[in-house]
């Protein structure tokens, strides 16, 4: 399994396991995120990975093709206790770790590969077909779905066009309006709402683009 980012090793010694050393590793510090499957690796000094398994009090644990790697999908923000246990017998706990569970950070509005606004050429704007939301600098592939937004076109601080959209793909009225823009016009995407991987609604910061040619 591919693990992205830096590996944070949490070394635990559990007294009930007679000094047994157990390693539980996550992809970024000791944080799990709501709405995604977080990779977790385990290892012990006395057991093979096939003899142990992972359990948690917050969410779902999934196995992978690698017996030392798991995916954990927490279901509530706060903390998650992760335990390594024997598969056979009385399922003795070998080690425990506490992880913080957080919401995925909010994304930025993206148009033509640019996030949060900026300059855009008229010819480039004319061929855009949809608005997107992306999360930069995040170690996981977290996908956000654009639900609604308002397109505003300004010229000399005067509103030329306003349209509320309920789909990421631009309706014909918007694409037609893009054909009429001139240099220094402002194209603003406001009141942008999207759905995060945890199915929560997010309101994003407006993005303003300036037509440069």
- Is residue 3 one of the residues assigned to a domain? no
Residue 174 to residues 45, 121, 153, 168, 179, Cα–Cα distance (Å): 62, 16, 10, 12, 9
CATH of the domain at 35: 2.60.40.1080
Please indicate, yes or no, whether residues 171 and 112 belong to a single structural domain of this protein. yes
- Is residue 1 one of the residues assigned to a domain? no
Question: What domain count does the chain have?
Answer: 2
Please indicate, yes or no, whether residues 121 and 43 belong to a single structural domain of this protein. no
Answer whether 93's CB lies under 8 Å from 17's CB: yes
| pLDDT one-digit tens code per residue, 110-135 | 999 999 899 999 999 999 999 999 98
Domain termination residue (choose one: 49, 68, 102):
102
Domain termination residue (choose one: 72, 102, 132):
102
Answer whether 136's CB lies under 8 Å from 108's CB: yes
43-47, 109-113, 147-151, 183-187: the lowest-pLDDT one: 43-47
- Is residue 193 one of the residues assigned to a domain? yes
Domain termination residue (choose one: 102, 125, 143):
102
Please indicate, yes or no, whether residues 203 and 169 belong to a single structural domain of this protein. yes
- Is residue 53 one of the residues assigned to a domain? yes
Q: Which residue range forms the structural domain that includes residue 25?
A: 8-102
Main-chain dihedrals φ then ψ at residue 122, nearest 5 degrees: -60, -45
**pLDDT recorded at residue 5:** 28
This model's pTM is above 0.95 = no
| pLDDT one-digit tens code per residue, 180-191 | 999 999 999 999
Vertex 25: Cα angle to 27 and 56 (nearest 5): 100
Cα 194 to Cα 133: distance, rounded to the nearest angstrom: 8
Q: How many residues does this entry show for the chain?
A: 213
DSSP conformation letters of 27-71? SSTTEEETTS-EEEEEEESSS-GGGEEEEESSSEEEE-SSTTEEE
Q: Does residue 89 register a pLDDT over 80?
A: no
């Amino acid at each position: 399994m591919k693990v992205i980012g830096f590996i944070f090793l949490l070394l635990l010694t559990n007294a009930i396991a007679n000094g047994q050393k157990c390693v539980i590793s996550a992809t970024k510090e000791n944080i799990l995120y709501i709405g995604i499957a977080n990779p977790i690796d385990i290892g012990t000094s006395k057991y093979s990975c096939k003899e142990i398994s992972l359990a948690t009090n917050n969410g779902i644990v999934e196995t992978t093709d690698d017996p030392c790697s798991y995916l954990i999908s927490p279901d509530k923000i706060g903390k998650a206790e992760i335990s390594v246990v024997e598969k056979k017998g009385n399922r003795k706990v070998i080690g425990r770790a506490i992880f913080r569970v957080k919401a995925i950070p909010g994304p930025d509005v993206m148009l033509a590969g640019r996030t949060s606004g900026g300059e855009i050429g008229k010819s480039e704007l004319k061929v855009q077909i949809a608005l997107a939301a992306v999360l930069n600098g995040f170690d996981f592939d977290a996908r956000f779905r654009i639900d609604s937004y308002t397109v505003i076109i300004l010229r000399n601080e005067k509103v030329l066009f306003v349209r509320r959209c309920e789909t990421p793909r631009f309706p014909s009225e918007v694409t037609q309006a893009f054909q009429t823009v001139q240099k220094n016009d402002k194209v603003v995407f406001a009141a942008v709402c999207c759905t995060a991987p945890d199915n929560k609604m997010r309101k994003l910061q407006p993005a303003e683009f300036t037509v440069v040619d």
